[in-house]
Structure 1
Amino acid sequence: MKTEHELDTLIAGLSTELKPSRDLWPELEPRLTEHKAVTANLVQLKTNRWLSVPFASAYVASAASVLLAVTLFWQPAAPIQPLVFNPQLVDAETAIVYSFEQAKAEQLASMKTVSPVYADWQQQLAQWQQAIDLVQLALKYNPNEALLLKQLRQLYAQQQNYLQKVVQSGLV
């Protein structure tokens, strides 16, 4: 601790401004003017015959011919296959939504008549859709949250079961 205390007192004793003992400008001024003259000499460029107009057009022509040859004879390494949408490769939410929406569309397409017992079936579907939208909104903030995905799956399953009952009621 003694050395730290001594160091602190020595630092406190130093002056806050450093001033040179003599004027340094007379020594620096000639050096600066010499430096400007040297850089002026270096900046002067000689025209290069390789960069002249006739040779520049030859460079452009050769580059264009190489580009044309590459474009004409380019063959991709593997044949390009069309992109097929596979929701299982995207994420869990998309897979759930895709599979249940596809089943829902099939059920709605097979619906012919509806029993009077299920007269408000569209309102019921709208309520389920509202709940599904809220869970999907929560999944945007917490993607791949297991409980939210489970809840989304359950809501879609309930909606699908209800639709199945509505469709079957019209077939009886």
Structure 2
Amino acid sequence: MSNKEFEQQLQNALASLPNEIQPRRDLWPGIEHALNSQAAEPVVTSSKAKPYWGMAAAVATVGLLGWLGLTQLPGLSDSAQLAQVLSQQHQQQKQALLASFSGQPALTDNWQQQVDELDAAALAIKQALKEDPNNPALLKMLQQVYQQQIDLIERVHAPAWQKI
């Protein structure tokens, strides 16, 4: 099946779907109950919620990378664009994590040295990407180094045994 045939079949299938689907029952009582119960619950702001900032940053990073993957930056190749976006998002995520863990003591003393070593590895990969910009293995390595750095920061400040 060619791409055009597939697109045509997809368009036909989408056109045959109903524009509106009615629920089987009235949903407003459940919505009203949920809104009233949420208004009655107090808002919890504690230090236990801080690890969730890391997860939120990771989700935002993935979403932004997906969105930027669909758009094009003028003057950059796809892999150069992706490396640049990866680097920017990693720095933002790293800063957010460090800010969220600023009041917590680290479990080890040499964690900053390990972060610096991972930064040096990322820099070496970026240099290799300048020489071979269309190498997907280098992009994957860069992504893995960044993820290792984020994982290290999270493990040092919020180890698994402290999480519920």
TM-score by length of 2: 0.47
TM, length-normalised to structure 1: 0.45
Structure 1 or 2, whichever has the larger Rg, is 1
